[in-house]
Amino acid sequence: CKCNFISFIFLSLGTGSNILSALQDLFWLLKSKVEKQLQIISVLQWVLTFLVMGIACTLILMYILCTDCWAIAALYLAWLVFDWNTPKKGGRRSQWVRNWAIWRYFRDYFPIRLVKTHNLLTTRNYIFGYHPHGIMGLGAFCNFSTEATGVSQKFPGIRPYLATLAGNFRMPILRDYLMSGGICPVNRDSIDYILSKNGSGNAIIIVVGGAAESLNCTPGKNSVTLRNRKGFVKLALRHGADLVPVYSFGENEVYQQVIFEEGSWGRWVQKKFQKHIGFAPCIFHGRGLFSSNTWGLLPYSKPITTVVGEPITIPKIDNPSQKEVDFYHSIYVDALIKLFDKYKSKFGLPETEVLEVN
């Protein structure tokens, strides 16, 4: 490393560059390296949050209860009981947390982009259908739970709420961290509250394919689990909330996953977890912490581009029939396919690529 540094200085001077120019170039190289390390740290903290923060905080809280500092844990538990229903009532978002610099490093690691195609009226409420799930929904988190890609500037007056598993909000500390980013439980109570008692200009982002879709995500594959996912359409009809198709190009490219075939023991275990716990354990890997040539938990730095499509106007029907749900669901599926076809070539896919709808 020292030899490289000395060689760099002598090379710069030997080619006629002055010392100031050499130092400026060296500073740029060092700054670039520091920024890359900060990007890695920012992504790593989110991966660890996604995987272990809830369990870790629960165990730490239980441990503190058994120490001389038990009063601190007891006070937090008392607050937890008092605050239990807050996630169901829109949560407690923090613009300060959403604007942390760490999220900009997170964005630049891949990088992640948010593409707006149409304006959204602040007099309406919306349900965004986000596709595909990927392993961790990295594009959904960065675009809608932080301000790193400028969602508030691109859609002024719209408050995004990313919906995720309700079980996450039973975990101490994790629940507060999630709420600070505008994340809410993906259950009927929470969605009903936001769409009926929180005014207008709300946008709930639902990863429609959920855990079932995550089991099939792999690089080079563009498929969504949607044919029999109609609950979000029924919710939209009950509240008169417009549906917005969203496709994230590159979401499936950042991790490699072991795909178990239907009927195998591995898929049986995954489906049992999905049915009883709400998520499906995936066997996946990304790159290592110190090298992209080794395996690890860090996602590969592949670009993710999230395209927000044109809103579909939905009427308010208190008790929609199955026929009405099916009708608007078919319109939504067609709109998602058209969105994919329109932008696929712009983001690295061949014109022959077809979106597989399962």
| Distant-in-sequence, close-in-space partners of 82: CB < 8 Å, separation ≥ 6 | none
- Residues 358, 356: Cα–Cα separation, whole Å: 6
Structure confidence at residue 3 as a pLDDT band (50, 70, 90): low
> HSE-up of 117 (CA within 13 Å, CB side)?
17
**pLDDT digit string (tens) for 138-178?**
999 999 999 999 999 999 999 999 999 998 999 999 999 99
Q: Any idea which residue has 């409420």 for tokens?
A: 125
Residue 191 CB burial class (10 angstroms; 0-12, 13-18, ≥19): buried
Q: For residues 106 and 142, is the Cβ–Cβ distance under 8 A?
A: yes
Q: Residue 294: phi, psi to the nearest 5? A: -115, 165
Which residues, listed in sequence order, are joined to residue 200 by a DSSP beta bridge? none
Q: For residues 274 and 155, is the Cβ–Cβ distance under 8 A?
A: no
pLDDT of residue 23: 61
Cis peptide bond upstream of 132, omega within 30: yes
- Residues 209, 355: Cα–Cα separation, whole Å: 14
**pLDDT digit string (tens) for 73-103?**
999 999 999 999 999 999 999 999 999 999 9
| Residue 248: pLDDT over 50 | yes
| Distant-in-sequence, close-in-space partners of 184: CB < 8 Å, separation ≥ 6 | 87, 88, 90, 91, 161, 162, 163, 164, 190, 191, 194, 204
CA 64 to chain centre: 32
- The SS3 of residue 86 is helix
The closest alpha carbon to 134, from 224, 50, 262, belongs to: 224
> HSE-up of 240 (CA within 13 Å, CB side)?
10
pLDDT of residue 169: 94
Tokens of 84: 């239990």
| Residue 18: pLDDT over 90 | no
Of 12 and 307, the structure prediction assigns the larger pLDDT to: 307
pLDDT of residue 43: 96
Q: Where are the alpha helices (DSSP H) in 197-316?
A: 210-214, 231-239, 265-276
Tokens of 168: 């996450």
- Residues 118, 151: Cα–Cα separation, whole Å: 13
The closest alpha carbon to 204, from 176, 246, 167, 253, belongs to: 246
